[in-house]
Structure 1
Amino acid sequence: MDVLISALEGLNLWWWLGLVAALLIAELLTNTTYLLWPAAAALVTALIAPFTGWPVELILFSVLGVGFLIVGDRYVKPRLKSGADSGLNQRATYLIGERVTVVKGFTEGRGRVRHGDTEWSARTEDGADLAKGSSALVTQVDGTRLILKA
């Protein structure tokens, strides 16, 4: 028991910062966000450690760890996941609402259009055929195909 108490008395700012670093590295390897919250709790505990003793540090770390986990999982994680559909690295999503020019006449509602210096495969929403040189509005993106409204 004396060994455990002497180890606990050795808790200090640097021990907590080491725990923060270990948890963040583990979070990078797992990419789950579950280890992010104990890392945040350990960081707050590290800031308080120079002013308190080990019992307060352990209680603070436990309470903050559980609290951050609940709040983070319920409120922060869904917002992080909703950012996955932001269109980042999906160039075609930025074309929604843009006007494109038909470069090859449509047959059976399918053809090719140009926006800037790039040609795209496209189809019309209603299956209508568009003439070469006409203009259309991009309403959706389906993979690499643009969906147009005449």
Structure 2
Amino acid sequence: MIQKLVADLGPWSWWLLAAILLVAELAAPGVFLIWIGAAALVVGALSLALWDMGFWGWQIQLLLFAALSVVFAIAGRRYYDRKHATTDEPFLNQREASLIGRTATLQEPITEGRGRIRLDDTWWPVQGTDQPAGTRVRIASAHGRTLTVEKAEG
């Protein structure tokens, strides 16, 4: 059935595949199917021009489609890579990292390397050298939800 559909549609089968992939990207966005759909569009455009050529068989079309899919996906990933994007809120969605350098008072003593502090409206588990409750500590680092603290100066 699919083979007959592809044979009947000819070069338009690539356009149909591209439309299906692009609609799937709209239904389940992930910025991935768009690149595969773009590869299908390019192969479809080339198929319209080269369909009657002897060398333009299904094998060449599939190889070109696969290669373009990989190239477009890599190029798209690099284009949309947000790792180096500057922002005025560098710790957005990284609450633990935004706490580094703040000071707090131990609500529970650190015994055997573990204790708790209260910052704003949240209780945080902390680790560090044993300290009595009421000691001022500075947050040195964050590992998941656990904060590493050291005794605050002054």
TM-score range, shorter chain: 0.5 to 0.7
Say if 2:152 is the partner of 1:148.
Answer: no
Q: 1:116 aligns with which of 110, 116, 120?
A: 120
Question: Would the aligned equivalents of 2:107 and 2:116 in 1 still touch at CA under 8 Å?
Answer: yes
Distance 1:75 1:25 in 2: 16
- Shift in Å at residue 89 of structure 1? 5.0
Is the counterpart of residue 40 in structure 1 residue 42 in structure 2?
Answer: no
Equivalent pairs counted in the alignment come to 133
Deviation at 1:38, TM superposition (A): 2.0
Q: Is the 8 A contact 1:140 1:146 kept in 2?
A: yes
Partner SS, residue 24 of structure 1: helix
Q: Is this contact kept in 2: 1:102–1:135, CA < 8 A?
A: yes
Residue identity matched to 1:91: R
- 1:13-41 deviation line (CA, Å, top 9, x unaligned): 96354233365379x49x8x5x5542231
Q: Are residues 1:92 and 2:96 paired?
A: yes
Q: Considering only aligned residues, what root-mean-square deviation do their CA atoms show, in Å?
A: 4.6
Deviation at 1:117, TM superposition (A): 1.9
Change (3 A) 1:43 1:147: farther
Q: Give the aligned residue type for 2:9.
A: A
What is the alpha-carbon distance in structure 1 between the residues aligned to residue 14 and residue 70 of structure 2? 22
Aligned partners of 2:25 and 2:62: how far apart in 1?
16
- TM-score norm. by structure 2 comes to 0.54
Superposition deviation, residue 128 in structure 1: 3.7
Distance 2:19 2:96 in 1: 44
Letter in 2 for 1:53: A
Structure 2, unmatched stretches of 5+, are 84-89
Check if 1:53 corresponds to 2:49: yes
Contact 1:41-1:61 at 8 Å conserved across structures:
no
Question: For the structure 1 residues 75 and 87, does the alpha-carbon distance in structure 2 shift closer, same or farther, using more than 3 Å as the test?
Answer: farther
Percent identity, aligned pairs only, is 24
Q: Larger % of helix: which?
A: 1
Q: Stretches of 4+ moved more than 4 A in 1?
A: 3-6, 43-46, 58-62, 86-90
Distance 1:43 1:97, change over 3 A: farther
Unaligned runs of at least 5 residues, structure 1 = none
| Alignment-derived partner of residue 132 in structure 1 | 134
Q: Secondary structure at the match of 1:132?
A: coil
TM-score relative to the length of structure 1: 0.55
**TM-superposed deviation, 1:91:** 3.5
